[in-house]
Amino acid sequence: MLVLGAGPGGYAAAFMAADLGLAVTLVDEEINPGGVCLFRGCIPSKALLHASKLISDSREAAGIGIDFGKPVIDLKKLREWKDHVVQKLTAGLGQLCARRTIHYIRGHGRFLDSGSMEVKGSEGAEQKISFDHAIVASGSKPVTLPVASASRRVLDSTSALNLEDIPGQLLIVGGGYIGLEMGTVYCELGAEVSVVEMAPNLLPGTDSDLTDVLHARLARHFKSIMLTTRVTKVEEEGGGLRATLQGQDGKISRQHFDKMLVAIGRTPNSKGLGLENTDAELTPDGFLRVDPQRATTDPRIHAIGDVAGEPMLAHKATHEGRVAAISLSGGKAAFEPRAIPSVIFTNPEIAWCGVTETEARKRNIRFTITKFPWAASGRAATINRMDGFTKLILHPDTGRILGVGIVGDGCGELISEGVVAIEMGARASDLELCIHPHPTLSETIMESAQLATGYGTHFFKPQS
Ligand code: NAD
């Protein structure tokens, strides 16, 4: 089996297939497996978000009587630590690959037909590989903003993670996952951050009660958040950039920034792979069309991860990778999740899984919600972070859990309970009957479930 692309989808597929006894070749341009997630995405950004959380936590500690003073930031050391985290994890994956005797080839792969691939190494060396089956796990790349020309002052998610310097004034175009996570990093490191989002709210598509809590905090720390606004022109100006911004009412403003980060979405890497030499079909959006086993329309080629459709999340890719590998090894497997968790690692974090309120309304799904405010949580009080809530989206007749949405400090660590509940077909009463440890934030899930029956412990709901 050949796997093209060694990100969290590709390496998980290769590892699983090798463990199931297949002879596996894994092709990627990097020296080790890891893909965008480890080299230029999830991992370095989370390392930097950890650093930014240390800064905000220590600043806020002054409010409870511990004053650390102004942090002294050694950018070089921070960069080196982040790079070390990446190096350690990717080298570890390289070792796991070797232990499984996977044939790892470094280079750019291109299908010659449905059974062979040409791989070009960085020094121009070429080799041809034949295979019985292939899994395409080529990922995605950032969408560029046509009005922002190539300039070292215009960053994308990759160059933003390099942390070359901390610009005085940073404009972020796109109030989505990357814009808000990297905005949080740069803001805590000392930049004045402005966000431009073309939709009427941050993180479009996410339940607005969740984003409102984040928006309220960001509004206190960012210089400005401009919604329903577009960047129509970007020019170099006096050692910086001049951006022309157009708001909802058509009003134009021109503002100066030192740098700009464009984070307006990602597009699947389905071009330049020789897919036209196979029978694999693309959707109009450029994704490979796949079935529940992740087989494309070419029976010898499977596809997983960002190139196989939304949501473009590493954990979805990993799961698909294992499904594809099991299926190609003759086992029975299908990609049919009820709940794919999403986590935005801002401060506070936002996490959800299953059906969202927004989606339920759109699809006319009947639902009821219960919401437990963190202001009523003992644990939230002891960590001085009561800005959050835990929401359950339930079937109105059975109390079955359809979705979970949480906003609050570190809530990304809580959402997996929601995933398990939904996948197991649990009802609110099941969560209510599970004893949760006190005092923890996980109790907010149990207490939200209690509200479904009408008898909460720490939240009084008058009985009618
Ligand atoms: P995104 O889709 O999350 O957000 C892009 C935002 O840009 C949207 O809000 C969109 O309305 C806005 N936008 C688009 N064009 C614009 C324009 N011309 N002017 C102003 N705003 C504009 O995309 P992203 O932040 O680039 O991230 C890409 C993908 O990477 C995400 O969808 C996600 O799947 C993945 N990701 C996940 C995580 C995580 O899991 N924590 C973190 C980073 C990235």
Pocket test for ligand 1, best of 178, 214, 232 (most atoms within 8 A of CB): 178
Q: Which helix (H) or strand (E) holds 387?
A: none
Distance CA 246, CA 226 (A): 10
Residue nearest to atom 3 of ligand 1 (CA): 176
Residue nearest to atom 18 of ligand 1 (CA): 230
Side-chain-side CA neighbours of residue 27 (13 Å): 28
Q: What is the pLDDT of residue 279?
A: 98
Q: What is the pLDDT of residue 125?
A: 87
Distance 143 CA to ligand 1 centre (A): 9
Distance 174 CA to ligand 1 centre (A): 6
Q: What is the pLDDT of residue 150?
A: 78
Pocket test for ligand 1, best of 37, 38, 154, 264 (most atoms within 8 A of CB): 264
Which atom of ligand 1 lies at the shortest distance from residue 142's CA?
A: 26
Q: What is the pLDDT of residue 344?
A: 98
Confidence grade of residue 453 (pLDDT, cut at 50, 70, 90): confident
Residue 204 is encoded by which pair of tokens? Answer: 């479009």
Pocket test for ligand 1, best of 40, 181, 198 (most atoms within 8 A of CB): 198
Contacts of 305 (CB under 8 A, 6+ apart): 5, 7, 8, 9, 10, 137, 138, 139, 312, 316, 317, 320, 321
Q: Is 241:151 a contact under the CB 8 Å cutoff?
A: yes
Cis bond upstream, residue 337 (ω within 30): no
Confidence grade of residue 59 (pLDDT, cut at 50, 70, 90): very high
Q: What is the pLDDT of residue 123?
A: 79
Residue nearest to atom 15 of ligand 1 (CA): 264
Distance 196 CA to ligand 1 centre (A): 12
Residue nearest to atom 41 of ligand 1 (CA): 344
Pocket test for ligand 1, best of 43, 141, 182, 266 (most atoms within 8 A of CB): 266
Q: Is 351:412 a contact under the CB 8 Å cutoff?
A: yes
Q: Is 404:420 a contact under the CB 8 Å cutoff?
A: no
**Which residues, judged by CB distance below 6 Å to any ligand atom, belong to the binding site of ligand 1?**
145, 173-179, 181, 196-199, 204, 230-231, 263-266, 311-313, 343-345
Which atom of ligand 1 lies at the shortest distance from residue 263's CA?
A: 26
Which atom of ligand 1 lies at the shortest distance from residue 143's CA?
A: 26
- Encode burial over 418-435: b for 16+ CB neighbours within 10 A, e otherwise: bbebbeeebbbeebbeee
Contacts of 5 (CB under 8 A, 6+ apart): 27, 28, 35, 136, 137, 138, 139, 269, 305, 307
Q: What is the pLDDT of residues 218-267, one digit of tens each?
A: 999 999 999 999 999 999 998 899 999 999 888 999 999 999 999 999 99
Task: Give the global pTM.
Answer: 0.96
Which atom of ligand 1 lies at the shortest distance from residue 266's CA?
A: 28
Question: Which residues are designated catalytic?
Answer: 438
Residue 59 is encoded by which pair of tokens? Answer: 């600043």
Q: What is the pLDDT of residues 261-284, one digit of tens each?
A: 999 999 999 999 999 999 999 999
Q: Across residues 183-201, what is the average pLDDT?
A: 98
Distance 58 CA to ligand 1 centre (A): 29
Q: Which helix (H) or strand (E) holds 394?
A: strand 389-394
Q: What is the pLDDT of residue 400?
A: 98
Q: Across residues 361-376, what is the average pLDDT?
A: 98
Q: What is the pLDDT of residue 315?
A: 98
Helix (H, G, I), strand (E, B) or coil at 172: strand
pLDDT reading at 309 higher than 90: yes
Q: What is the pLDDT of residue 449?
A: 97
Q: Sheet with 301-303: list strands edge to edge.
A: 103-106, 25-28, 2-4, 134-136, 301-303
What residues pair up with 174 in beta bridges, in sequence order?
none
Distance CA 392, CA 106 (A): 46
Q: What is the pLDDT of residues 16-56, one digit of tens each?
A: 999 999 999 999 999 999 999 999 999 999 999 999 999 99
Q: What is the pLDDT of residue 445?
A: 98
Distance 265 CA to ligand 1 centre (A): 4
Q: What is the pLDDT of residue 249?
A: 87
pLDDT reading at 419 higher than 90: yes
Which atom of ligand 1 lies at the shortest distance from residue 231's CA?
A: 19
pLDDT reading at 149 higher than 80: no
The mean pLDDT value of the chain amounts to 97
Q: Across residues 6-14, what is the average pLDDT?
A: 98
3-state secondary structure 404-425: EEEEECCHHHCHHHHHHHHHCC
Distance 155 CA to ligand 1 centre (A): 14
Distance CA 216, CA 206 (A): 15
Give percent of the chain above pLDDT 70: 100
Q: What is the pLDDT of residue 88?
A: 98
Residue nearest to atom 23 of ligand 1 (CA): 265
Query: Which domains does the chain possess?
Result: 2-140+267-328 (3.50.50.60), 154-264 (3.50.50.60), 342-453 (3.30.390.30)
Q: What is the pLDDT of residues 206-216, one digit of tens each?
A: 999 999 999 99
Distance 156 CA to ligand 1 centre (A): 11
